[in-house]
Chain A
């Protein structure tokens, strides 16, 4: 008999509908996998197994009564950046240890309304700042690709970041799907290096209400799953206008699952020459070329395009994101929630609390952000970066006159080991070289797993869509997935 954790979400929903198994059985199987997986990978900060069992029971009752939701009975992991009512929410920071929200984020509420069962709060980089899940105050996440026993592997690999716990949980069969958030690549880079699908929709597709803010003009929620079909279904349930978030788009949400299986004949796939970057392994270039060939064989037309300001995207991001972060993170002051250290004066209390509650990378970005917004430097750095940001967006608008979807690599290497890339902050920043442009331009992007590299580790490719055109993106992604036929499993599964 097939192990329940081998089913995709779409298959599991079919099995539930046909009464082949119950939500309780599926959830129990995933709880068992999560317990084993937690010891091996540290994918969760908080687990909520008791609540999951109760939710599964309620799901079975709904199904028996004939009114199951569209994702009813599906066990998922929730990135610990989403505020969850009555469940500790930390953003992987010591400064929020013990914080129990009295409200629920819109997206997690929508998923609960669709019938999803939350197994726990997934680990991440502190305040979503990182590409390796090594800045969490609750310990590193070890990728299930590290070996059969990741916790004791000689070379412990990162799952990527910041949605590293989400990626490890989905790849390691500890959850059927997970939520992520993506500010510079935090869904797509971990998806790429753990061999799963990750979608960051158009800015504004999903409500940011109740998601702990890092850089508000860039942050966007998205889905991390094992198949493109699962991502289409999950994103459909997550997306939608929310009066509580003025940047959420008041547009109807199409049924993204309708895009699956449609022909890509005549679709124009853009290949940007600027994404061929020095120092990127030849193997990644090769897989990129193969991806283009697969889409061509499926009937698409491959065209060369140019995105001239690509090389300036990361420096632009590392001005804008820290600037917004320095403002967003001002709220952690020891007064209303979270950690409080003592101090003789109010200012000293603030300084001690924030000095001890934030980790090194978060402090670095707050300082950087404060500097670029400070008197005398605002125009030279922040305003300049905002101008370059417009040029980056215009590059894409121009390119999309010649193509419908863009195909690019998604990460500059396969998974690296914990501790690598840490001697110089800029080395870690370069992990997002292929992903960060989309956040600056507000575009949707999806990563599709392609194959294992010579070192046995997975690598995905990224497709970029026009604003609000996730339908075409899913159509192309499904075609690429079907041609690539990726079905590798990590050496560790829960």
Chain B
């Protein structure tokens, strides 16, 4: 289960993260080291153990009423936009 350059390219793409070709080898090396190290977990018998996602699971707070409590502030939401037009974020064209 080692990570080669093709895997680095694949997961970088999944993560929307550009990794320059000259760095891919060293990234693969680091990830392999970490994977080998976390491989220690193979020693642990987890049969019948339920995964724990959150230490307070079962006690999450729920809204008493599902009502809108915030909003209607487009200027706040757009305040940090790198690019905007009227009340919209703008991005490179996605439809031809």
Contacts and interface: CB of A to CB of B under 8 A. Distances in A.
Partners in one complex: yes
B68 interface: no
Contact of A349 (B35, B80, B91): B91
Contacts of A338: 80, 82
A340 to B, nearest CB: 4
Contacts of A312: 40-41, 43-44
A384 B17 contact: no
Given A315-B40, A364-B27, A366-B17, A204 B46 contact: no
Interface in A385-400: 385-391, 393
Interface string A361-377: 00110111011001001
A243 interface: yes
Given A338-B80, A349-B91, A364-B31, A203 B51 contact: no
B30 A366 contact: no
Given A363-B17, A367-B27, A442 B82 contact: no
Interface residues of A, number: 74
Interface in B1-52: 1, 3, 7-8, 11-20, 27, 30-31, 33-35, 37-41, 43-44, 46, 49-52
A203 B54 CA distance: 9
B86 interface: no
A316 B49 CA distance: 15
Interface string B59-75: 11111000000000100
B44 A391 contact: yes
B33 A425 contact: yes
Given A368-B34, A384-B46, A390-B52, A337 B92 contact: no
A367 B80 contact: no
A349 B43 CA distance: 42
A327 to B, nearest CB: 10
Considering residues B55, B59, B80, which has the most beta carbons from chain A within 10 angstroms of its beta carbon?
B55
Contact of B46 (A311, A356, A388): A388
Contacts of A315: 37-41
Interface in A47-90: none
Contacts of B37: 315, 318, 426
Given A339-B82, A354-B17, A367-B8, A247 B44 contact: no
A352 interface: yes
B71 to A, nearest CB: 12
A358 B56 contact: no
A441 B57 CA distance: 12
Nearest to A99: B80
Query: Which 7 A-B pairs give the minimum distances between C-beta atoms?
Result: A442-B55, A355-B18, A386-B51, A337-B80, A340-B82, A387-B46, A390-B52
Interface of B: 1, 3, 7-8, 11-20, 27, 30-31, 33-35, 37-41, 43-44, 46, 49-56, 59-63, 73, 76-77, 79-83, 89, 91-92, 94
13 contacts: A246-B61, A336-B81, A339-B82, A351-B18, A354-B15, A364-B30, A367-B31, A370-B15, A386-B51, A387-B50, A389-B52, A425-B30, A442-B55
